[in-house]
Protein backbone atom coordinates (compact mmCIF):
# COMPACT_ATOMS: atom_id res chain seq x y z
CA UNK A 1 0.00 0.00 0.00
CA UNK A 2 1.02 3.60 -0.60
CA UNK A 3 -0.48 7.01 0.16
CA UNK A 4 -1.65 8.49 -3.17
CA UNK A 5 -3.14 11.91 -2.51
CA UNK A 6 -5.04 14.19 -0.17
CA UNK A 7 -8.16 15.85 -1.58
CA UNK A 8 -9.24 19.35 -0.62
CA UNK A 9 -12.21 21.27 -2.01
CA UNK A 10 -11.41 24.70 -3.39
CA UNK A 11 -13.64 27.65 -4.22
CA UNK A 12 -11.48 29.15 -7.02
CA UNK A 13 -9.50 26.54 -8.94
CA UNK A 14 -7.30 28.99 -10.87
CA UNK A 15 -6.37 30.86 -7.70
CA UNK A 16 -5.56 27.57 -5.94
CA UNK A 17 -3.47 26.25 -8.85
CA UNK A 18 -1.56 29.55 -8.90
CA UNK A 19 -0.94 29.33 -5.14
CA UNK A 20 0.27 25.73 -5.13
CA UNK A 21 2.41 26.08 -8.27
CA UNK A 22 3.77 29.65 -8.21
CA UNK A 23 3.92 30.29 -4.46
CA UNK A 24 4.50 26.77 -3.08
CA UNK A 25 6.63 25.56 -6.01
CA UNK A 26 4.58 22.49 -6.95
CA UNK A 27 3.81 21.39 -10.50
CA UNK A 28 0.36 20.97 -12.03
CA UNK A 29 0.45 17.25 -12.81
CA UNK A 30 -2.93 16.81 -14.44
CA UNK A 31 -6.34 18.42 -14.69
CA UNK A 32 -9.66 17.10 -15.94
CA UNK A 33 -13.16 18.54 -16.22
CA UNK A 34 -16.18 16.33 -15.50
CA UNK A 35 -19.10 18.22 -17.11
CA UNK A 36 -21.65 15.57 -16.20
CA UNK A 37 -20.81 15.94 -12.53
CA UNK A 38 -20.06 19.68 -12.80
CA UNK A 39 -16.61 19.46 -11.18
CA UNK A 40 -12.93 19.65 -12.09
CA UNK A 41 -10.02 17.77 -10.53
CA UNK A 42 -6.48 19.15 -10.61
CA UNK A 43 -3.51 17.31 -9.11
CA UNK A 44 -0.46 19.23 -7.87
CA UNK A 45 2.74 18.03 -6.26
CA UNK A 46 6.51 18.07 -6.06
CA UNK A 47 7.02 14.79 -7.88
CA UNK A 48 5.38 12.28 -10.16
CA UNK A 49 2.24 10.60 -8.84
CA UNK A 50 3.86 7.21 -9.41
CA UNK A 51 6.42 8.00 -6.71
CA UNK A 52 5.06 10.66 -4.36
CA UNK A 53 1.84 11.66 -2.64
CA UNK A 54 0.15 14.69 -4.18
CA UNK A 55 -2.76 17.05 -3.49
CA UNK A 56 -6.04 16.73 -5.39
CA UNK A 57 -7.78 20.09 -5.76
CA UNK A 58 -11.51 19.52 -6.28
CA UNK A 59 -13.54 22.39 -7.69
CA UNK A 60 -17.31 21.86 -7.63
CA UNK A 61 -18.60 24.30 -10.24
CA UNK A 62 -21.76 25.26 -8.36
CA UNK A 63 -20.19 25.79 -4.92
CA UNK A 64 -18.62 29.12 -4.00
CA UNK A 65 -17.40 28.43 -0.45
CA UNK A 66 -16.89 25.70 2.13
CA UNK A 67 -16.81 25.42 5.90
CA UNK A 68 -13.34 24.15 6.78
CA UNK A 69 -14.60 22.49 9.96
CA UNK A 70 -12.43 21.62 12.91
CA UNK A 71 -11.36 18.05 12.16
CA UNK A 72 -8.85 18.66 9.37
CA UNK A 73 -5.47 19.85 10.63
CA UNK A 74 -2.93 20.73 7.97
CA UNK A 75 -0.71 19.62 5.11
CA UNK A 76 3.01 19.39 6.04
CA UNK A 77 5.91 20.20 3.72
CA UNK A 78 9.62 19.80 4.50
CA UNK A 79 11.89 22.73 3.59
CA UNK A 80 15.65 23.33 3.76
CA UNK A 81 15.71 26.97 4.96
CA UNK A 82 12.39 27.93 6.48
CA UNK A 83 13.23 31.63 6.88
CA UNK A 84 14.17 32.02 3.20
CA UNK A 85 11.10 30.03 2.10
CA UNK A 86 8.78 32.17 4.23
CA UNK A 87 10.34 35.38 2.88
CA UNK A 88 9.81 34.15 -0.70
CA UNK A 89 6.21 33.07 0.01
CA UNK A 90 5.46 36.46 1.60
CA UNK A 91 7.05 38.34 -1.35
CA UNK A 92 4.98 36.25 -3.78
CA UNK A 93 1.75 37.24 -1.99
CA UNK A 94 1.32 34.23 0.29
CA UNK A 95 0.07 34.57 3.85
CA UNK A 96 2.33 33.40 6.69
CA UNK A 97 -0.08 32.70 9.55
CA UNK A 98 2.64 31.61 11.99
CA UNK A 99 6.12 33.03 11.61
CA UNK A 100 9.06 30.58 11.61
CA UNK A 101 10.39 29.50 14.96
CA UNK A 102 10.72 26.53 17.28
CA UNK A 103 7.55 24.57 17.91
CA UNK A 104 6.04 24.80 21.37
CA UNK A 105 7.60 22.19 23.66
CA UNK A 106 10.25 21.22 21.10
CA UNK A 107 13.11 22.42 18.96
CA UNK A 108 11.81 21.64 15.47
CA UNK A 109 11.52 24.90 13.51
CA UNK A 110 8.09 25.30 11.91
CA UNK A 111 5.90 27.93 10.25
CA UNK A 112 2.37 27.96 8.86
CA UNK A 113 1.04 29.28 5.55
CA UNK A 114 -2.64 29.66 4.52
CA UNK A 115 -3.82 28.76 1.04
CA UNK A 116 -6.52 30.82 -0.75
CA UNK A 117 -9.30 28.82 0.92
CA UNK A 118 -7.73 29.06 4.39
CA UNK A 119 -6.26 25.56 4.56
CA UNK A 120 -3.19 25.39 6.80
CA UNK A 121 0.15 24.27 5.41
CA UNK A 122 2.87 23.54 7.95
CA UNK A 123 6.44 24.14 6.83
CA UNK A 124 8.95 22.02 8.73
CA UNK A 125 12.64 22.81 8.47
CA UNK A 126 14.73 19.72 7.74
CA UNK A 127 17.16 18.94 10.53
**Catalytic site includes residue 122:** yes
Nearest Cα residue to 10 out of 77, 64, 75, 46: 64
- Cα separation, 94 vs 32, in Å, equals 26
Q: Of the listed 14, 56, 99, 122, which one is catalytic?
A: 122
Tell me the HSE value of 80 on the side-chain side, using a 13 A CA sphere.
0
Give SS3 for 125.
strand
- The alpha carbon of residue 101 and the mean position of all alpha carbons in its chain are separated, in whole angstroms, by 20
> Which residues are identified as catalytic?
122
Amino acid sequence: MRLLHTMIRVSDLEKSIDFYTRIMGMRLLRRKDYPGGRFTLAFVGYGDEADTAVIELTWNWDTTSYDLGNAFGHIAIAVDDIYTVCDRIRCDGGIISREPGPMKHGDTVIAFVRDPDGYAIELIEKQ
